[in-house]
Amino acid sequence: MINLTESAAAQIRKLQAEADAADKQLRVFIEPGGCSGFEYGMTFDLPKDNDHCLNDQGIDFLVDPDSFSYLDGCRIHFDDGLHGKGFEINNPNAASTCGCGRSFN
């Protein structure tokens, strides 16, 4: 399971409205890159046949099977405070993370 905080859900709703993506769902994924080997990504997309279709905080979101194995158990938070970094993914599966908070291995 992947969990969203209330602040992440609110920001996702805002971004979805701004992007006029009402017919699409949030996709959370990982891809090779970043300073630690993998990096996180999010976009609005249409479901694919093999996606995991998840819901938390009233947000429907998608994760492909390869990404799910790395993201299962994560918590996604949005920090918009004075020193906020935007979306933060707390990943218990990561052996190490980079200082930027956007990559892991």
Question: Is the pLDDT reported for residue 7 higher than 90?
Answer: yes
The helix/strand/coil state of 72 is coil
Identify the residue with better confidence: 47 or 100.
Answer: 47
pLDDT at 59: 95
The C-alpha atoms of residue 95 and residue 50 are separated, in whole angstroms, by 27
Q: In sequence order, which residues have a C-beta less than 8 Å from that of residue 41 and are 6 or more positions away?
A: 28, 29, 30, 31
pLDDT at 8 over 70: yes
Tell me, what's the pLDDT at 104? 46
Domains of the chain: 3-104 (2.60.300.12)
Length of the chain: 105
Per-residue pLDDT band for 97 (boundaries 50, 70, 90) equals: low
Q: Which residues contact 16 (CB under 8 A, 6 or more apart)?
A: 22, 24, 26, 44
Is residue 51 within 8 Å of residue 29, measured between CB atoms? no
> pLDDT, tens digit, for every residue of 57-67?
999 999 999 99
Query: pLDDT tens-digit profile of 24-45?
Result: 999 999 988 766 678 889 999 9
DSSP 81: S
